[in-house]
Chain A
Amino acid sequence: MQQKAEFDQRVQEALNNPQLRSNFRIAMDGLMEKRSNAFPDKSFMEELRVLGSKIRANALAKQPELLEQLEANCTRNGIQVHWAETIEQANRIVLEIMERHNATRMIKGKSMVSEEMEMNHFLEAQGKSCIESDLGEYIIQLDHETPSHIIAPAIHKSKQEIAKLFKAKHPDIPYSEDIETMTRSARQVLRSKFYEAEIGLSGVNFAVAETGTLCLVENEGNGRMCTTVPPVHIAVTGIEKVLEKLSDVPPLLKLLTRSASGQHISTYFNMISSPRKPGERDGPKEVHLVLLDNQRSKIYEDDELFDSLRCIRCGACMNHCPVYTRIGGHAYGSLIPGPIGSCIEPQKFGLDKFGVLPTASTLCGACGEVCPVKIPLPKLLHRLRYEQVRDDHTGATNGQGSQRSGKEAMIWKLWSWAHANPAVYRSGTRLASLFRGAIPNKIGPWTRVRTAPKIAPKSLHQLAREEGFDHE
């Protein structure tokens, strides 16, 4: 159980870091309040959530056909479509496009799929430069970190920490802890990067099969810069992002921006359907779409776990998670943290690697309650806890049964045997009552923060009989 020991250590470190805890507490409280204010009418919110979940469920049910339609329409529009089963293939495709253009400078808009691909690492090893242009991503790139939140990647840092980082990396820019000033310095630095870049990379929020349109939600304008200014635009996305109709977009956009940051709409909603057409004065001359599988088609096989593919990546589940808020994103050790990460990452990378994540939940249900597309997250986390101890070899989940312990299995076998045999059960409870004094006060990790349970002097059966109840 090396992964558990490592996870426990990361959790301990996070819990003992008061700065980190206060950064997350303040930010998550703010995000929860913003979301709540954005949905003043709860029945409107419920209707929208039902619609959103149906739109996503419909798109997933028709996924293979929609992907083919998306490909056909994108191709007709002039967008070049590439398919990748693995992150290696996806990285290779991006590299080949860069090499074909003799390009060395890439400017990137925010893309969790490119993080999943570890694209920067891969391309840098090939001598390419990849600059993150989303403010949060730019900050963590300067500090060689990974995102701690899917929509607010640098949320674990305070403004003082960021000010010190900027000073260290850009000594010529005057030191400031003022957030607007720091934002403007990043604008200054990155302007010339947009200007120089030969390749612009972006993610995709929704890919519309009906029209072959790639949609991008953003506030900073960096997404538009990356997809408009460089001569080549590469969009990378997971295959699950496809939608059937253009009219499916407005309800999901409404849910996404309100759930993520309490905005009624983002500053920009950018819909790209083709490269620059003859006569047009700007825009990339080539647009590429890389469709990445990386285990998504495997998750697709299971009728229940399939629902995790509905996710529109708003981050509301982590904002409302009591565990995430206390330990932050990095403690999870996975790319996507929080409840949806604990659900998706073990399925992608195997329960043998991330099996501990589904247990990092109190199953309080908050994530399932706020999910804009009604993913039953607590149920799925529960299911993964079962997947990691079952040993009937019938499920499809990676690493199934990997956390099974012989001792635990034996205890449960004994437990169910005792409960199925009244005579054993009765004598068992009698013995337990008799020797109740012998139960130690310290029973492992459970009693570190709790009092040990004490067996009552009389069992419930015994009390009921004394009171004159008799079920027969």
Chain B
Amino acid sequence: MSKARDNILARLRARNAEKPPVDLDRGFNSPDWNRQQRIELFCKAMRSVRTEVHRVTAADWPEQLAKLVKEKQLKNLLYAPAGPLAEKIESAWRAGEELPELVTREVDVDGWKEELFFDIDAAITSTRSAIAEVGAMILWPTPEEPRTFSLVPPVHIAVVEADKLHNTFADAIANENWQDGMPTNALLISGPSKSADIEQTLAYGVHGPVELIVLLIE
């Protein structure tokens, strides 16, 4: 092990006076919200950061999606053919007309980075769960739905299931036992990318998606 490591640890351990142990109670009280309240809170918080939220059903979301992308005149839509949404998207596209081209690349992103960066209009992903209190979606990207799908294209469309809404972030970690194994990348997303670095004035669409569209399945 490195000398720097040993020196730093030795210095930290050389503290002569002991700090009294900290009495830290990690228990937390989860709010007493029902499903409907969670949905309302999530929608309100998400919309407050300029997310477009559409309340849909498990049956009609693919048609809603098709309508939406047509209205937005997207040129193409990136999706994960092996992901949990694929089957329904594909059947909606078979049924619909004049829809944006469905794009899929089942190889490492390194091989088609240029296309991803400069040609893809929008991408759709599923989500793991979501947080009602602050209005955030939780994504654990997978080999099927890579990290860059929710990051690089200017429009990100995410499908969120209302049944998977947690009250708070602390609830999400505790209920899903995150401490037992973290993925390569776990993400909370709340709204399209933004910055207030110029005169503290909020501007949307910096380096991540310019638009975030949530289809909330109730």
Scan B9-22; emit 1 where CB is below 8 A from any A CB, else 0. Answer: 10111111101011
B22/A57 in contact, CB under 8 A? yes
Chain A residues whose CB sits within 8 angstroms of the CB of B36 once the complex forms: none
B179 at the interface (CB under 8 A from A): yes
Whole-angstrom CA separation of A190 from B195 in the bound complex: 14
Chain B residues whose CB sits within 8 angstroms of the CB of A133 once the complex forms: 207
Chain B residues whose CB sits within 8 angstroms of the CB of A152 once the complex forms: 196-197, 200
Scan B164-186; emit 1 where CB is below 8 A from any A CB, else 0. Answer: 00001110011000110111111
A12 at the interface (CB under 8 A from B): no
A83/B4 in contact, CB under 8 A? yes
B125 at the interface (CB under 8 A from A): no
Whole-angstrom CA separation of A139 from B203 in the bound complex: 15
Give the residue of A58, A71, A134, A279 whose beta carbon is less than 8 angstroms from that of B197: A134
Chain A residues whose CB sits within 8 angstroms of the CB of B195 once the complex forms: 135-136, 183, 219-220
Scan A167-211; emit 1 where CB is below 8 A from any B CB, else 0. Answer: 000000000000110111011001110110000000000000011
A281/B146 in contact, CB under 8 A? yes
A272/B185 in contact, CB under 8 A? yes
* Stretch among A61-69, A321-329, A375-383 lining the B interface: A61-69
Whole-angstrom CA separation of A162 from B199 in the bound complex: 10
Give the residue of B179, B191, B198, B200 whose beta carbon is less than 8 angstroms from that of A210: B179
8 A Cβ contacts from B130-160 to A: 131, 133-136, 142-143, 146-148, 151-152
Scan B40-67; emit 1 where CB is below 8 A from any A CB, else 0. Answer: 0000010001000000000000000000
Max chain A CB contacts within 10 Å: which of B7, B49, B147?
B147
Chain A residues whose CB sits within 8 angstroms of the CB of B97 once the complex forms: none
B182/A213 in contact, CB under 8 A? yes
User: How many A residues, CB 8 Å from partner?
Assistant: 98
Chain B residues whose CB sits within 8 angstroms of the CB of A222 once the complex forms: 206-207
8 A Cβ contacts from A288-308 to B: 291, 293, 297-298, 300-301, 303, 306
B207/A272 in contact, CB under 8 A? no
Question: From A178, which residue of chain B is reached at the shortest CB distance?
Answer: B203
Whole-angstrom CA separation of A162 from B146 in the bound complex: 36
A83/B2 in contact, CB under 8 A? yes
Smallest CB separation, A189 vs chain B (Å): 11
Smallest CB separation, A45 vs chain B (Å): 15
A280 at the interface (CB under 8 A from B): yes
B74 at the interface (CB under 8 A from A): no
Question: From B201, which residue of chain A is reached at the shortest CB distance?
Answer: A179
Question: From A228, which residue of chain B is reached at the shortest CB distance?
Answer: B147
Chain B residues whose CB sits within 8 angstroms of the CB of A254 once the complex forms: 169
Chain A residues whose CB sits within 8 angstroms of the CB of B9 once the complex forms: 64, 67-68
Chain B residues whose CB sits within 8 angstroms of the CB of A250 once the complex forms: 168-170, 173
Chain B residues whose CB sits within 8 angstroms of the CB of A245 once the complex forms: 26, 179
Whole-angstrom CA separation of A253 from B19 in the bound complex: 25
A386 at the interface (CB under 8 A from B): no
Chain B residues whose CB sits within 8 angstroms of the CB of A246 once the complex forms: 173, 178-179, 182
B146/A268 in contact, CB under 8 A? no
Smallest CB separation, B178 vs chain A (Å): 6
Q: A83-B4, A246-B173, A246-B178 are in contact. Are A224 and B208 (CB under 8 A)?
A: yes
User: How many B residues, CB 8 Å from partner?
Assistant: 77
B199/A265 in contact, CB under 8 A? no
Give the residue of B17, B118, B134 whose beta carbon is less than 8 angstroms from that of A264: B134
A85/B207 in contact, CB under 8 A? no
B33 at the interface (CB under 8 A from A): no
Question: From A275, which residue of chain B is reached at the shortest CB distance?
Answer: B184
Question: From A57, which residue of chain B is reached at the shortest CB distance?
Answer: B22
Q: A246-B178, A267-B193 are in contact. Are A158 and B199 (CB under 8 A)?
A: yes
Give the residue of B12, B17, B49, B199 whose beta carbon is less than 8 angstroms from that of A64: B12
B26/A228 in contact, CB under 8 A? no
Scan A30-62; emit 1 where CB is below 8 A from any B CB, else 0. Answer: 110000000000000000000000110110110
Whole-angstrom CA separation of A300 from B186 in the bound complex: 32
A268/B189 in contact, CB under 8 A? yes
B197/A135 in contact, CB under 8 A? yes
A225 at the interface (CB under 8 A from B): yes
Smallest CB separation, B116 vs chain A (Å): 9
Smallest CB separation, B41 vs chain A (Å): 11
Q: Can you add 10 more A-B contacts, CB < 8 Å, to A133-B207, A249-B169, A269-B187? A: A23-B199, A54-B23, A67-B8, A159-B201, A220-B206, A220-B208, A246-B179, A268-B188, A282-B147, A291-B8
Residue numbers of A with Cβ under 8 A of B are 23, 26-27, 30-31, 54-55, 57-58, 60-61, 63-64, 67-68, 71, 77, 82-85, 89, 133-136, 139, 152-155, 157-159, 162, 179-180, 182-184, 186-187, 190-192, 194-195, 210-213, 219-222, 224-225, 228-229, 231, 239, 245-251, 253-254, 261, 264-277, 279-283, 291, 293, 297-298, 300-301, 303, 306
Jot down 20 A-B pairs with beta carbons below 8 A, ordered by A.
A61-B19, A68-B9, A83-B4, A133-B207, A184-B205, A191-B117, A194-B207, A195-B113, A211-B178, A225-B152, A228-B185, A246-B173, A247-B173, A250-B169, A268-B187, A268-B208, A281-B109, A281-B143, A293-B11, A297-B11
